[in-house]
Structure 1
């Protein structure tokens, strides 16, 4: 057996065996290549180390002209010699050394060598958590233990180290602090009885009576800790019971409502068997209103059965802000001609909503604050509410083409009163917002009409408006404890809504936001898909246009009545998803 030849050379890399290489031993064989390379490296390192004299023979120090000390180190050593440069701490004491080697007249850094001083400095900077000798304590602002329970023996210790249990046997009772101080050793304690007969613990602090704490007598305990008749409870500062569980029957009682169990029992007995809503109110655009087919709210109500009533407040073409204003979730500020509301049955022209024209369309759809306007029809619509303390009716009339050239007219009719001043921008509160709808679910389908034509950057403001307005509608419903169904936006037959289009991406952005913020409201079927995804998944593979639409990731033509709106079959998908969602949530 022969040994591998070794050369003192630094190999730049180690050969990796490949599957294609034939296993061969002997000189030059592929099986010996790696071992030979590693042997060369080892021989090189051995000779390099042996050639370096002890660097500690050469110690140098930084100077103003030689801040790292290497100039002096190279000048004071031979080529190949090692040397070290001392490093100082803030106190001027050597804390560590940098080790160098003179390589052809240049300082080659090898390593750093800390000493004991350096390690001590580092340890001082490391926070250390030490367990105290008390299982519980009252601490002062500076962390000093004022009163603590000692772990070793359970005794109580005060700030000066005095053990209360040990001192009690030597405590004397006085009715005068002056007398007590004169008869008690410095730093020792005594009991002082005040003029009301209350005992207090004092200490003699350099000839001054210093209060430590007061005692609670057995009499006080019996007076203040009487049994209340409750297993547990929440008590206010005035000792009044706010909430409590009554011991005699386990009933939960509150300060304002009394026995909650009895009230729940009464509600069940008087609800005619219904413990959930029997009605829904849909606030939506044309997809909620049902343009192109049987509206999904009506189909969903039929699936629910038991006489469930679906009230539809949808208006085709409306933006999310207008829908939120009609609901009362977003404010409506009104300006009328003459800044006055006429007497009962009198009318006046409305000139502005929220500081913008009541007749002219805004520059962008999402900015429309005309709460009854739409480019979908010229129907006369009205909404009742309160303005400046007067019951009023706002009426919208329109004529012209269904676009932004339409002529809009708004009038305000007083339904009561003798006339009153109405400053510009006065708040109009819809009658709906003042009524109790806690027994009706709120179904929301809004936002698709807010998008403008433009670049992706232009759509950022529209997305923000949709999110803000739908957030406001949900917050409005939550204040009265209403259950909510929030339906996703869908991508339809418009190029910007095709897969990857600028509006397509924003639709997905909004749906994702809703699904994350409102998982208890955002409608998904039992298979986890929302209505946009359900419509796409329901395409007809035998319908050529449906296949194209499926590729574009939009609502298929077989489920649409036009480019935007579902047909009755399409609305049925909304209804079925809502039905499954309600059942799953226990509505």
Structure 2
């Protein structure tokens, strides 16, 4: 006999399996009904379980997910909702409802029964309760400044020392930290003092007259206390002799400053030596001397050479018309002397005094004569050819050719030139130009400069 396989849970007896040897028997407890009875028992159990789950009497152990997802939501003081089907955990942020208070910092706040801030403001003096001084247990200042007191006097040893003088008359003098004494002024030699103790007013000190009238003196006499007892004006003998190197300030820089009248100034010397602006300077050096520029027509600054610009202006060129002007342009040649200022700066081309050149040419007559002709004579040459040859002993023919040059005797032509009688020959004469574009005298070149 065997049983049909059956799950161990919920622990029912196995379902009976009919065997070939079993005798069929119907009725209650019969083998023919045993399997049906066992299945009915199981079906009734399952039905009871399902009814209990549906009614809530029995809690199901678990489910993979809900057939219909559900929305779980919160309302009231906050807003929150999620959709849940049991397949997994869900989460969502909770948003609290506004309480009507702007975000910020407040010293005094109002809250509702749920602890939410419904109002806020800053703290005022009225919000601080009255306290006894004894309640201030820490943080108390220990100075007048700490309490903001401005009408109190800070205690010091010096004040204590002054208090100890007990109002004695005289001048109070602090002789050291926490020490004070009373002093009076006493007149010495050459001075008088009024109210020396300062009791009736400020002390007055006056010097006694020294016997010298008030005034200005170059030489004075003083006593041991530095008072002037005599005075006079300085004389030549009062100035000590000293070396020139001792005079370090106040030295004049001109002849007039020293009162020298028998010498020329530099400007006067320049004018006399041709050094005034616009003067010509000749130099054997290849560069201009100090204070001069080469007369090459260059444009130079009106600001850098103001004196030269005043002297010649734009006579030799205006430069750029604003900032520069041109120097004279003296090319290779000679400087011409001008009888007056009208011609200064003008240029002339090289020239010589007008003149003519005479020329005579002739051929002298040699009388009747004849001209000889040289005739060296000549001859003519011609060539003769002789052929020698034949057949010798069966050998091939051999032919010898002999050429011979023969000249004729020398002969002359017999030509002569007849006499033409006395006569002359015309001769043509050409006078060719020579020299350069200008007339130069023999000499040496120098650099022409203009002073500025």
TM-score by length of 1: 0.13
When you count strand as a share of all residues, which structure comes out higher?
Answer: 1
